[in-house]
């Protein structure tokens, strides 16, 4: 059994306080992960526009959003100036790499990509990607080879823009197993490694608000071969770090291998080709990109 460990860092608070906690936890457990960091300004306050999406307020209540994210995060980019994550936390980006983890890009302006992607032009998407890559390379001097779309939002245009980056793999969707994305009859050459397990903000308070019970529930969701869990530095790195430690200890006790996503790529060169579709995920507001039917 394998568990790919993906950490999304969407906010300044997640980077500043969640990532150090996760680095200590992973070091203690001797596991490595793939950190997907939103490299630009944290404009989380603008996400208030999602209030009209079905399920958004319910999710905010279940996950105790104000306590989890902090009141400042909920005001960044509106009442408060937006802190620039990659520039302010360049030292932490270097720590991620120095500790043996993979550093990947989770967009530049997370809220803009998640909420406005369908209206962005090709040039605007390319600019977002170029800005994010520049911040990452300037801070670490290393080459980033993976991208994960904020909010699991992608379009045919964004996927084609990603192909210009020379990626080793991408992680843009929710799905069942690694695959190659088929777009308009063409199979894109970059491997997609989707998130296969529900995220904590989708399950906490919906499946259970008891950490031990939820750990057991997650154990029952594991498949015998390929699993990808996406943690969020804002949740598993802060308020829910004890749950996360218990969950990882259970997986390790089962003898599973926990690791970086880039370590998997060579195992899936013959992965199937699948279409994309838009759909909903229980516990998550709005539509996300999902792994569709096979085309071969």
Q: pLDDT digit string (tens) for 231-248? A: 999 999 999 999 999 999
Q: Is the pLDDT of residue 160 over 50?
A: yes
| 18-22, 56-60, 213-217, 279-283: segment of lowest average pLDDT | 56-60
Q: What is the pLDDT of residues 96-133, one digit of tens each?
A: 999 999 999 999 999 999 999 999 999 999 999 999 99
- Alpha helix locations (H) across 72-199? 85-88, 90-98, 110-116, 122-140, 156-163
The CA distance from 222 to 216, in Å, is 10
The predicted pLDDT at position 219 comes to 95
Q: 94 by DSSP, 3-state: which?
A: helix
Q: What is the pTM of this model?
A: 0.92
The owner of tokens 């209030």 is 51
Q: What is the pLDDT of residues 27-45, one digit of tens each?
A: 999 999 999 999 999 988 7
The owner of tokens 């994010």 is 132
Most distant pair of Cα atoms in the chain: their distance: 51
Residue 48 exposure: Cα atoms within 13 Å on the Cβ side = 12
Structure tokens at 285: 């507001």
The angle that helices 90-98 and 122-140 make with each other, rounded to 10 degrees, is: 70
Q: Over range 271-284, report the average pLDDT.
A: 95
> What residues contact 5, with CB distance under 8 A and at least 6 apart?
31, 32, 33, 34, 229, 231, 258, 259, 260, 261
- CATH entry, 2-294, from 3.90.550.10, 3.20.20.370, 3.30.750.24, 3.40.630.10: 3.20.20.370
Q: What is the pLDDT of residues 186-200, one digit of tens each?
A: 999 999 999 999 999
């Amino acid at each position: 059994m394998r568990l790919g460990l993906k950490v999304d860092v969407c906010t300044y608070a997640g980077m500043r306080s969640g990532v150090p906690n996760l680095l200590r936890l992973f070091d203690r457990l001797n596991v490595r992960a793939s950190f997907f960091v939103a490299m630009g300004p944290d404009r989380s306050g603008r996400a208030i526009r999602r209030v009209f999406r079905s399920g958004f307020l319910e999710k905010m209540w279940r996950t105790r959003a104000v306590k989890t994210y902090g009141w400042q995060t909920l005001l960044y980019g509106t009442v408060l100036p937006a802190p620039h994550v990659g520039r302010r936390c360049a030292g932490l980006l270097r720590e991620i790499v120095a500790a043996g983890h993979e550093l990947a890009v989770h967009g530049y302006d997370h809220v803009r990509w998640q909420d406005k992607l369908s209206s962005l032009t090709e040039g605007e998407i390319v600019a977002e990607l170029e800005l994010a890559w520049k911040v990452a390379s300037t801070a670490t001097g290393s080459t980033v080879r993976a991208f994960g779309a904020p909010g699991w939002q992608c379009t045919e245009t964004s996927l084609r823009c990603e192909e210009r980056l020379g990626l080793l793999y991408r992680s843009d969707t929710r799905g069942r197993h690694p695959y190659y994305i088929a777009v308009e009859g063409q199979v894109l050459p970059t491997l997609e490694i989707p998130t296969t397990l529900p995220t904590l903000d989708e399950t906490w308070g919906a499946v259970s608000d008891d950490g031990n019970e939820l750990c057991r529930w997650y154990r029952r969701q594991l498949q015998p071969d390929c699993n990808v869990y996406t943690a969020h530095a804002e949740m598993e790195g802060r308020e829910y770090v004890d749950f996360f430690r218990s969950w990882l200890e259970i997986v390790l006790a089962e003898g599973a291998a926990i690791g970086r996503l880039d370590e998997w790529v060579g195992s899936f060169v013959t992965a199937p080709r699948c279409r994309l579709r838009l759909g909903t995920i229980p516990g998550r507001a709005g539509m996300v990109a999902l792994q569709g039917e096979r085309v071969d």
